[in-house]
Amino acid sequence: MRKRIYSILILNFVIFFFMSYPLLAFNCKNITKDKILNEIAVNPFLKAFLNKSKIVNKRQVKGLCEVTLSVNNRFFTCYVGKDFTLVGQMYSHGKLVNEAILKRLKARTNLEIKKEFLKERKNIDKSVAIIYKPSKKAHKVLYMFTDPMCPFCHKAETKIKDVVKKFNVVLKVIFFPVHGQKSDKMAIKAICKKFNLDKYLSQEWRKKGDFDKFQCEKGKKLLRQSKLIAKKLNITGVPTFIFEDGTRVRGANIPFLERTLQKKFKVQSSTFKKH
């Protein structure tokens, strides 16, 4: 009887071992970014993009290694097997498999971003090119990283003055050109000519094309400084709005910016409409 029990136990162990061998042999700890890049080499665009990434989380999921990569504070997921890699999300029972992990990573990243902003606050203020104060009582600050040639920035700029007036917030404009040399020269001209917000928001000066005439050293120095700050804050696109606590609003979504202002500053504006 005892021998029979031992035989059954051994048989069950052997069956379990061979059924689970592929999973046991596959070690998530051995997965590296290089392995993932080699697997996706047939897609040069994706490889070049993920080459800038870093692995921030790994775990076993359903026999695969779930790898979360971070690129410029954005997260991407890969599921890696012994000889294949799947790039994308996995869903189970109507839910994102790594939803909790992504939420935790985003919260940690946002906290790190805020800490870096507070650390660099003095240098950020030294990089400001234009300040607009809607009233003497305005003291809360909203930073706007922008580019004179950016169409999305222009979309936001057409409404930003009304927004800061509505919420009585000081606007501090920092140039971060991402559209090449002409964009740099336009930003430098705005600095050298000491444009106020109204002058900067107007389209007339942008059409003249005389940017080479106004390339003062002060403007060049300030632009170098603002680019360095943008890099330290890991700002990769414009427009980017940053609140005093480091909270960010990316893009030209003015309704979302207004809702964030309402929430952050608890401003009761008679003209505020819920979007």
The string of pLDDT tens digits covering residues 177-198 is: 999 999 999 999 999 999 999 9
Instruction: Write the CATH number of the domain with boundaries 25-102.
Output: 3.10.450
Percent of all residues in the chain with a pLDDT value above 70, rounded to a whole number: 87
Domain with CATH 3.10.450 in the chain: 25-102
If you average pLDDT over residues 67-92, what whole number do you get? Answer: 88
CA atoms within 13 A on the CB side of 26: 18
Question: What is the pLDDT confidence band of residue 274, given thresholds at 50, 70 and 90?
Answer: very low
Instruction: Write the CATH number of the domain with boundaries 119-265.
Output: 3.40.30.10
pTM confidence score: 0.72
* Contacts of range 233-237, beta carbons closer than 8 Å, 24 or more positions apart: 233/113, 233/116, 233/117, 233/120, 233/124, 234/72, 234/73, 234/113, 234/116, 235/145, 235/176, 236/72, 237/178
Domain with CATH 3.40.30.10 in the chain: 119-265
- Looking at residue 22, its pLDDT comes to 47
